[in-house]
Structure 1
Amino acid sequence: MMLASIALAAALVACGGSDDNDTPAQQPLALTIAHINDHHSNLDAFAAQTMKIGGVDTQVELGGFARVSQAFKAYEGRDDVLKLHAGDANTGTLYYTLFKGQADADLMNTICFDAMAAGNHEFDDGDAQFKSFIDHLHTGACQTPVLAANIKPQVGTPLAPKATDDYLKPYTIKTVKGVQVGIIGLTVKGKTQNSSSPLATTVFEDEAVAAQRTIDQLKGQGVKHIVLLTHIGYQDDKRLAAQLTDVDVIIGGDSHTLLGDFSHLGSGYAAAGAYPTQAVNKDGKPVCIGQAWEYSKAIGEMRVSFNDQGEVTACGGQAALVIGDSFKRQDAEGKWAAVDAATQQQIVAAVNADPSLKMLTADPGAAGVLKAYSGQVDELKKQTIGTATEALCLVRPRPHHQPQRRHARLRRRQQAGARQRHRPGGGAVLPQRQPARRHRHPERRRRARAGEGRPHHHG
């Protein structure tokens, strides 16, 4: 009987049916992940940002969502790319104040992300507002899935009208060059509950517990390539990697971390670690970690190679700052001025040779979407400035209507206090003392000489 059992087990293993260690081989995969995070409704570019280009201080226009959209256009037509957003699209500028995520969703739909992680700031105005943002994001063809494996809204609430995963999915599976890649979303638990406004009925699970459960679920479906799309912060990403089995890549957000080597650009571009940061998971196998700074200023591009067992064999890539093509430098008087044609060519050559910089014009489609919203923002600013000016005029203090003789008396007193005299017998020059007030009443004079206070009158 024992021999028969052993023979049966061997037959099952040979068929690939029961031994977890005997997983069928797949073709090797070379995957590119293009990603951003924490744009926080920063859709406009940042003007007059100083960095060293070719070793010289240079002013550039940094970021802008229309330029980020143009950066993603470089991946069109490729079947080896995942486009990811690691959360916190909302909150931070008038674009959110006025449009409550609609402007962000419309700009994001010019890119068509393969997945987005739910950020803590997506909950700033509650579950209903988050639902509204996702509805805008799902207007049109993109249908970007919003992921959070550790969030469970209560059925019947805005994010879960019929089921807990109506709006927030635990994962999505993408097929890249014939190979399935699982993308799992995670949202920072404590910060979201304590600093944002989710419903009390919305459950937030421990990030590591939810991640491992979902990894195991995907592994059970035969998915070997696992990407965590997290919004928990760079340091926590590194800690999380060590707690999990079978995780290959972590694309993160929340801590607004710049990774890579930007030291040559100046002290304002200090990075927190290497891009990608290479860690080790609980299996002792490599994990590649990336994040791409903040506010539509940068884009990350991670390149990951897998063997036929789905294990990471190498990872590399670059996070790059997105800049425009107009430049200023200081003239002989120290004033910032547009550069001449020859200097422009030198700067452009230096930028093109620097992998940490991407010089781009705005994507026309995204620029058109942004223009429609920015016009309304500009109009609000004008109205706000006008209202503020009126308010200042209304509360402007009235002039003091003092008689001219009172002003003259005050001036005489000031002049008298400024006069100086010599003490008898020489000595230091001292300010002239004001003459003591003369009291007409003898009793008051006596009290003044004695240092007594003014007599009180009762009744």
Structure 2
Amino acid sequence: MKSRLYKVSIFFITTTLICGCQILQTQKKDKDSDSGLERDPRVQRALPSDPDNLKLTILHTNDHHGRFWKNSEGEYGMAARKTLVDAIKAEVAKKNGCVLLLSGGDINTGVPESDIQDAVPDFKGMNLLGYDAMAVGNHEFDNKLETFFMQEDIADFPFLSANVYSPKTRECIANNNCNDEPKRIVKPYLISEKCAGLKIGLLGLTTNETRSTYQEFDKLDFRNPIDEAKKILPTLKQNTDLIIALTHMGHYSLPEEKDKMGDIRLANETTGIDVIVGGHSQEPLFKPDVQNGTLILQAYEWGKWLGRLDLNYNIRTKTLTMDRYALLPVNLKAVDPATGESSFALQEIPEDQDMLALLKPYQDRGQDELLVTIGSIDQSLDGSRAVVRNQPAPIAELINSAILKKTSADIAIFNGGGIRDSLPAGTLSYRSTLMIHPFGNTLTTVELTESELKAFMQNVVAMVEPNSGSYPHLKGITVKLNEQGLIEEMKIAGVISQSNKKYKVSMSSYMAGETYGTLIPNKHPSYYDTGYTMALSLRDYIEANTPLKAATFETVRSFIVE
């Protein structure tokens, strides 16, 4: 997921809940199709009233991140989403149209109730919603491959990615005959014949910046998604009427982001893609970004919005036109600035009872395990992207305090992108720490000489850029920089660094796998993985120091330019 702040004022939403429809229920896809053209066996039963003009409605979400249940304010959740999706399907059915429901990926990681159950409730909820396909997101690899394949087995829709390779595929694991030859771990594409008279190519692509912490990650090969797309697009263009790229690559529209491997580059460096249904940057695109004739869509995050694109395809002229596009809010609330009270921005969407019946046992089970009290804090600590990816933050000071306490290190460093939620004021539970640290990363240490530390910190300095998930938060060290950004002096615990000393640096296992110049911490001879997760270290610190006072974690600048 990419860092960026999007201020969305729901008071200005004028969208009505336009609806649409689909006729067939989702059926289990054949996972053993041959290596030829992969076709969806489902065919729409109803024929369009105008034989030359086919109506297609694309519904889409992305970056779900475990939000199968509504939040404490009653916002979003799969039960309300199903009511909205079913209404759209019914309305489109009356016009003999066809609906595709698609996901831009990242179903995993974000809410403890989902995380501790391996996102099983989320995939079962997607089945009941009737998803047709999903792109594989980077957070689908926060678990072992066996968990990934288990989730694929649960899903009644295909996982798609053309650029993720591994010598460990589901087939070789099942047959116990894996070798060193990498193969795609899921289908790269699907040709859907769900809508009568229209063949739709669905191409899946995953960001090649994917990182993971589990021990088999080095066996995965995330290849250049644009290169892989170019290999497949000629086949899709010859055999389809419409091509949709389901991507988890990000939408990067700022000038300084022009070289990033995202949806805009994909659209401009390929030909033949009609629509990109994206994810990863968690951006609400309230109108399609048109690049090189391709419509780029994205629906923010967590199921807060349901994207709807209405298209007309003329069979005779083979032309595609857009009727309308909207992001539909799923029970989002807005705060009245005059009264401070929150209310639904639009009419509240009732929750589907079948979905509630399916998901409530999972929600109850997760809550029972997570709601044990561990302490309290007098004021909240802000963990929003706008704060932790741009500036020193009290919540990062708390996290680094917990790291130093657990590891007895001299220096703690943590990246802002690893902070996934705020710490609320009042009573705290284990769930509170898991919301901040959902990834299962462990605490690691490495002992560095002064020269190694200086070289390491020089690379850390380069990570200080606005809106970056790599933004570093430090404790135990202060670095003085000259006007050129080079390190002139380092102080550890207030004392100038010494050439004859070694310094223990602690960081997450995620950060330890990154490259800092010539140093890769987890390849260093002194590297040690404590086995303690970030969430557990924070839980233990809160329990040992409760009640916490927010003022304790007021931050100081770690980088001083003179």
Using the size of structure 1 for normalisation, the TM-score is: 0.61
Q: How does 1:105-184 map to 2 (within 5 A)?
A: 105-137=123-155, 143-155=156-168, 161=174, 168-175=186-193, 176-184=195-203
Instruction: Pick one of 280, 298, 306 that aligns with 1:299.
Output: 306
Alignment counterpart, residue 229 of structure 1, candidates 243, 246, 268: 246
Tell me the residue number matched to 1:375: 364
| 1:127–1:158 CA contact under 8 A, matched in 2 | no
1:214 aligns with 2:232: yes
Q: Relative contact order: is structure 1 or structure 2 higher (C-alpha 8 Å, sep ≥ 6)?
A: 1
Shift of 1:62: 2.2
Distance 1:197 1:313 in 2: 47
The Cα of 1:148 is off from its aligned counterpart by 0.3
Higher helix share: 1
**1:26-425 aligned within 5 A:** 27-48=52-73, 61-76=74-89, 78=93, 79-137=97-155, 143-155=156-168, 161=174, 168-175=186-193, 176-190=195-209, 192-193=210-211, 199-220=217-238, 222-235=239-252, 236-260=262-286, 275-280=287-292, 286-308=293-315, 309-314=317-322, 316-323=324-331, 336=341, 351=346, 359-385=348-374
Larger Rg: 1
Say whether the 8 Å CA contact 1:42–1:295 is kept in structure 2.
yes
- 1:210-260 deviation digits (Å, cap 9, x = unpaired): 11211112223x213100000000122122101111111100000101111
The structure-2 alpha-carbon separation of the partners of 1:31 and 1:165, relative to structure 1 and needing over 3 Å to count, comes to: farther
Q: 1:251–1:291: 8 Å Cα contact kept in structure 2?
A: yes
Where 1:255 maps in the other structure, the secondary structure is coil
**2:320 and 2:285 mapped to 1: Cα distance?**
20
Cα distance in 2 for partners of 1:67, 1:159 equals 40
RMSD: 3.4
Q: Cα deviations across residues 372-430 of structure 1 (Å, max 9, x unaligned)? A: 11111221233354997999999699xxxxxxxxxxxxxxxxxxxxxxxxxxxxxxxxx
Deviation at 1:86? 0.8
Q: How much does 1:196 deviate?
A: 7.3
Measured in 2, the distance between the counterparts of 1:391 and 1:205 equals: 40
Write the deviation string for residues 183-216 of structure 1: whole angstroms up to 9, x where unpaired: 00000012x1467776323322211111121111
Deviation at residue 132 of structure 1 after TM alignment: 1.7
Distance in 2 between residues matched to 1:234 and 1:148, nearest whole Å? 18
1:78-134 per-position Cα deviation (integer Å, ceiling 9, x unaligned): 351111011000001112332012111111111121101100000012322211221
Amino acid at match of 2:62: N
CA distance in 2, matches of 1:249, 1:211: 14
Q: SS at 2:148's partner residue?
A: helix
Q: Is the 8 A contact 1:330 1:337 kept in 2?
A: no
Identity across matched positions, percent: 28
For 1:418-437, what aligned pairs fall within 5 Å after superposition?
A: none
> Secondary structure of 2:107's partner?
coil
Gaps of 5+ in 1: 1-25, 49-60, 138-142, 261-274, 281-285, 339-346, 353-358, 398-459
C-alpha deviation, 1:30, in angstroms: 2.7
| 3-state SS of paired residue (1:133) | helix
* Cα shift readout 1:8-62 (whole Å, capped 9, x = no counterpart): xxxxxxxxxxxxxxxxxx94433210010001001222344xxxxxxxxxxxx42
1:117–1:187 Cα contact (<8 Å) kept: yes
Residue 246 of structure 1 aligns with an amino acid whose one-letter code is G
The secondary structure found in structure 1 opposite 2:128 is coil
| Distance change in 2, residues 1:237/1:337 (3 Å) | closer
Which stretches in structure 2 are left out of the alignment for 5+ residues? 1-50, 253-261, 376-427, 431-538, 547-562
Q: Which residue pairs with 1:443 in the alignment?
A: none
- Matched positions, count: 315
DSSP 3-state at the match of 1:82: strand
- Aligned residue type for 2:358: V
1:159 and 1:168 in contact (8 A); partners too: no
Contact kept? 2:104, 2:137, Cα under 8 Å: yes
- Secondary structure at the residue paired with 1:250? strand
In the superposition, the TM-score normalised over structure 2's length comes to 0.50
Distance (Å, rounded) in 1 between the aligned partners of 2:157 and 2:192: 12
1:374 and 1:295 mapped to 2: Cα distance? Answer: 16
* Structure 1 Cα separation of the partners of residues 222 and 136 of structure 2: 12
- Describe the shift of the 1:197–1:277 C-alpha distance in structure 2 as closer, same or farther (beyond 3 A): farther
Query: Does the Cα contact within 8 Å between 1:120 and 1:196 map onto a contact in 2?
Result: no
| Contact 1:231–1:252 under 8 Å retained in 2 | yes
Confirm or deny: 8 A CA contact 2:166 2:185 kept in the other structure.
no
Return the alpha-carbon distance in structure 1 between the equivalents of residues 141 and 364 of structure 2: 27
Following the alignment from structure 2 to structure 1, what is the Cα–Cα distance between the partners of residues 309 and 248?
17
CA–CA distance in 2 between the matches of 1:363 and 1:377?
Answer: 21
